[in-house]
Amino acid sequence: MKFGGTSVADAEAMNRVIAIVRKQWAEDAGDRPPVVVVSAMSKVTDRLVETGRLTGERLGEQAAQILADLLERHIGVASTLVEGTALGDLNAQLTADFSALQADVRRWAEQGEITPAAADALQAMGELASSRIVAAAFRQQGVNAAWVDSRQVLVTDGEHLAAIPDMEATTERARAIVGAKLAAGQVPVMGGFIGATAHGVTTTLGRGGSDYSAAIFGACLGVDEIQIWTDVDGMLTADPRVVSSPVLVPELSFNEASELAYFGAKVLHPSTILPAVANNIPVRILNSRRPEVKGTMITAEGRGDGGTLTALACKRGVTVVDITSSRMLMAFGFLRRLFEVFERFRTPVDVVTTSEVSVSVTVDNTRRIDDIVSNLRNFAEVSTEPDMAIVCIVGENLRSDPTLFCRAVNALETIPLRLVSQAGSRRNITFVMRDSDVVSAMNLLHDQFFTAKVS
């Protein structure tokens, strides 16, 4: 059971978490307790990222001040939920952890540099603190819970800020450490998002990575179901921040969920589905404010019935890179050369389209774009266009019903489309357009497929 940032935002939210876990354990988990994974309290990771930025700019005192404010917020929540010596111990631990980080940021600020490893040590504080508080709050309310340090369980490579789990090593640790708590009838409470290398250096899985942690632990422990508790009723037909009244998607296939997550449905981290697929574990998305709502069930099969599309997604602020070369004509090895440049600068591409003499790709991480462009220019003409966006329509039915594509294109008749791509899976079609057109494009598509009554 993974609870996101808004689901552990304050003492009230944490009380809801405890009630949800208690009810579920009583109702259907039998004698095996659930495993609880929590995110940092809402906005805390953003503040820690900000702390890192200030540190890098040698503003050590400002950085230390943010940490002092965060400590105060955590102690405030802890003091509402926990009492007596347990509270004393908890507050002492939080104070020690935050104070150590304050000393670190002052030192790093003097050096004027924050390494990726240092940034990970900073960002990990959010999940460490929230998980300690939630574990203590459980015990305060009579639930037999045990805090587990996720850094001792989730073993990753050393790619800081985007670490990749070592599933074999993590399975071994999870079975030993988390398994022992479960065997003792305890609810393990762990921080999501964080792990450590085999040498014990703290790492993180990348922003939004707590969902991924939950799926990793679920897979390693062979659970019956992975639950993602959040602040919406489940996967909706579109991002509620873009479309005014999206509706709940009750069932999704793993493949559909992966496409939606990959193309911007933030409710699920894009890697979450992988461990679930590998072990065929259903993933359910649920609302911690409205636990009675059934949510979205994600399984290998998805929904059985006909119907239209399943959902829409959009990814904003992407850059299109156009690569043109007359040498591409009839040349084998050209694409390899081209993609090697992206690989060298560790930049994933999302959408790819080709014509006879040109290739266009989209990237959302432009950190290394200047290096990429100058390397590509060794063998091709290159231009980039920022402020673009990807709109993606997803549904297993796209395979069987060719009219769905026509309806989507017709709905978008007023919007200039920059690239269009349908992959071999025929499960999604992506449209690349100006970012400024995204809101109208999403609403036009949503009206067409989910609101307008079409016979």
What phi, psi does 40 have (nearest 5°)?
Answer: -65, 155
Strands (E), 325-379: 352-354, 358-363
Q: Quick one: three-class SS letters along 306-331?
A: CCCCCEEEEEEEEEEEEEECHHHCCC
Residues 98-157 that bind ligand ASP (CB under 6 A): 126
Instruction: Tell me which stretch binds ligand ADP (CB under 6 A): 45-53, 235-243, 342-350, 397-405.
Output: 235-243
3-state SS class at 418: strand
Report which of 384, 392, 441, 387 is spatially closest to residue 416, judged by C-alpha positions. 441
The helix (H) or strand (E) run that includes residue 189 is: strand 187-191
Residues 241 and 232: their CA atoms lie apart, in Å, by 11
Binds 159: which of ligand ASP, ligand ADP, Mg ion, none (CB < 5-8 Å by kind): none
Nearer to ligand ADP, 53 or 266 (CB): 266
Tokens of 348: 């994933």
Q: From 76-84, 229-237, 378-386, 393-401, give the range in contact with ligand ADP by CB under 6 A.
A: 229-237
Residues between 34 and 53 with contacts to ligand ADP, criterion CB under 6 A? 39
CB 136 within 8 A of CB 86: yes
Closest contact distance (angstroms) between CB of 264 and ligand ADP is 7
Residue 193 contact partner, candidates Mg ion, ligand ADP, ligand ASP, none, CB within 5 to 8 A by sort of partner: ligand ASP
Residue list 11-50, contact with ligand ASP (CB under 6 A): 39-40, 45
Q: Which of 120, 127, 239, 437 binds ligand ADP (CB under 6 A)?
A: 239
Residues 207-246 that bind ligand ASP (CB under 6 A): 207-211
Residue 408 within binding range of ligand ADP, rule CB under 6 A: no
- In the structure encoding, which two tokens stand for residue 207, read together? 């922003």
**Binding track over 194-223 against ligand ADP, x by CB under 6 A:** --------------x---------------
Which tokens belong to 91? 């507050």
- Please list every residue from 309 through 328 that binds ligand ADP, using CB under 6 A: 311
Give the CA angle between residues 254, 256, 262 to the nearest 5°: 100
What residue 375 binds from ligand ADP, Mg ion, ligand ASP, none (CB within 5 to 8 A, per partner kind)?
A: none
Q: Distance (Å, rounded) from C-alpha 80 to C-alpha 103?
A: 28
The residues binding ligand ASP (CB under 6 A) are: 4-5, 39-40, 45, 126, 192-193, 207-211
